Amino acid sequence: MKHLITTAALAMAAATPALSETWTMTSTWPSSLELIEIDKHWVDLANKLVDDDKLTIEFYDGGSLVPAGEVFGAVESGTIQAGADWPGYWAGRNSAFSPLSTTASLFNAVDYVNWIQEWGGADLYNEVYGQFGMVYLPYGVTNNESGFRTVSQPIRTLDDLQGLRLRLSGLEQGKLLEKLGGNQVSMAGGEIYQSLERGVIDGAEFSTPNVDFSGGFQQVTQYWSTPGWHQSSSVFGVMINKGSWDALDEETQERLKIAADATMLWSLSFTERRATEAYAQFQEAGTEITRLDDEALERVQQLANETITEVACENPMSAKVYASQLTYLQEYSTWRDASAPFNLGRTPNGPDLAAIQACAE
Please state, as a whole number, how many other Cβ atoms lie within 10 Å of the Cβ of residue 317: 17
Residues constituting the chain: 361
Among residues 152, 161, 146, the alpha carbon closest in space to that of 206 is found at 146
Q: What is the chain's alpha carbon radius of gyration, rounded to the nearest angstrom?
A: 22
Amino acid at 248: L
**Residue 330 annotated as binding?**
no
3-state secondary structure of 225: strand
**Residue 274 annotated as binding?**
no
What region, left, alpha or beta, does residue 170 occupy, with left being phi > 0 and alpha being psi -120 to 50 degrees? left
**Residue 205 annotated as binding?**
yes
* Sign, Cα dihedral of 274, 277, 281, 287: positive
Please state, as a whole number, how many other Cβ atoms lie within 10 Å of the Cβ of residue 67: 12
**Residue 272 annotated as binding?**
no
First vs last C-alpha separation in the chain: 67
**Residue 206 annotated as binding?**
yes
Give the residue numbers of the binding site for Na(+): 206
Give the residue numbers of the binding site for substrate: 145, 167, 205, 231
Give the residue numbers of the binding site: 145, 167, 205-206, 231
